[in-house]
Chains A and B, each alone.
Chain A
């Protein structure tokens, strides 16, 4: 039973922490991609294209087995957290950027005509409008991230899927065990979906 709890809590912790990390990094990258400085835009584009175009599993294996080779060894949980957060940040950045792009360009021009600086126009005009439009795309990413944490089980983290596999190894009842694990994921994902609806209504 403690194994189930350990797996469940690890999955929740990995989901919450990696999503928080992904939002922070994703926000930075999104800003890089929209600032009117070509060099910074280039950096943002490279980040997104490199991170999202290599499978998460490859990143996890590279981080877990590659980083110690160059002298950087973190506990497995934090290694998985770093890889998942940096990977999902690319998707978050694109969701945020498309949210900003969805605000009509006239809005930005009007803000500038009123004498607002780039930062002020972002802060007071663009981001509040973009914010509510990105709630659902971000919820999609959060749910995908929840499912993606199962890959951490491959590199030694005892998440819910790994715990289910261990239990099944003894019980030999895969249908039962994995239906149970699936229901746990369903509850988590449904919670995210519910939170997103509440947040969307608040921002509207």
Chain B
């Protein structure tokens, strides 16, 4: 018993200590990297690209607990998902190897982390909004997402967002879903839980009548859980952008050029297939048009 416990603790510590991984394990990312482009343009001394190249590693503000997007694989210690792979590809583009360090960011810390230079970029389902665009620069959008509704199988009376009015709705804490529900049904009572599994448990335990979350995550949940039922199509458009220090037009352009390049060469679509495409049926969508 005691030995088991020690083993469990050691495993846990080992899982936690994988901060920077110079050699990304797993064949998925290796296959992607083989096709990935590398930056060949000019490097202005003192610019963001110069700084990152000299450091030899890209510092990313992101998550470790977002399924399909950026989730730490407890077995390999590798960060997997759409956002995570894009981060590695961007590092590969800038420094020639997929050397990234992902610092856990939250919706409270994203803007300060960029402003004080703790991270180079934020890749964290960071929805581009006019208010945020006043404090950070956005490259992209790199992904077009939407909030969708899920209910317990057999629930009646919820067929569209407006039906949420007056109901208790479970939403992931600090996700775009909070605002989406308030806009679609101002009288809905919003209950927030920190993670997707908690939200799911709360829905099944009857803490709310519906659960609003990013469609890709809901599709993934429903594929594993027969009690869950999706209602209709996504009812919002959330363009995710890559957050960059406010006013750094040069670096924003570099990242935008990279996004265009991987969109054109099919790498973006490959990343989608490896991640979100494993639960969403059909072909990869066209990457969103880059704003500027």
Interface contact tally, CB-CB below 8 A: 61
Q: Hey, what's the 0/1 contact readout for B237-248 against A, CB within 8 Å counting as 1?
A: 000000000000
- Let me know if B207 and A76 touch, CB within 8 A: yes
User: Is B233 close to A, CB under 8 A?
Assistant: no
- Let me know if A73 and B132 touch, CB within 8 A: no
User: Is A166 close to B, CB under 8 A?
Assistant: yes
Interface-located stretch among A119-127, A142-150, A172-180, A185-193: A172-180
What residue of chain A has the Cβ atom nearest to residue B107's Cβ? A169
A162 to B172 alpha-carbon distance, docked (Å): 12
What residue of chain B has the Cβ atom nearest to residue A168's Cβ? B108
User: Is A154 close to B, CB under 8 A?
Assistant: yes
- Let me know if A172 and B193 touch, CB within 8 A: no
Q: What is the minimal beta-carbon distance from B246 to any residue of chain A, in angstroms?
A: 11
Identify which of B132, B190, B201 contacts A65 (C-beta below 8 A): B201
User: Is B222 close to A, CB under 8 A?
Assistant: no
What residue of chain A has the Cβ atom nearest to residue B170's Cβ? A156
User: Is B191 close to A, CB under 8 A?
Assistant: yes
- Let me know if B207 and A156 touch, CB within 8 A: yes
Answer whether A165 and B173 are a contact pair too, CB < 8 Å, given A156-B191, A156-B192, A174-B112.
Answer: yes
**Which residues of chain B are near A170, meaning CB under 8 Å?**
129, 131, 179
What are 13 A-B contacts defined by CB distance under 8 Å?
A: A73-B205, A76-B207, A153-B173, A155-B193, A156-B192, A156-B193, A158-B192, A169-B174, A172-B129, A172-B134, A172-B135, A173-B135, A174-B112
Closest 4 pairs (CB-CB, A-B): A68-B205, A174-B108, A156-B191, A172-B132
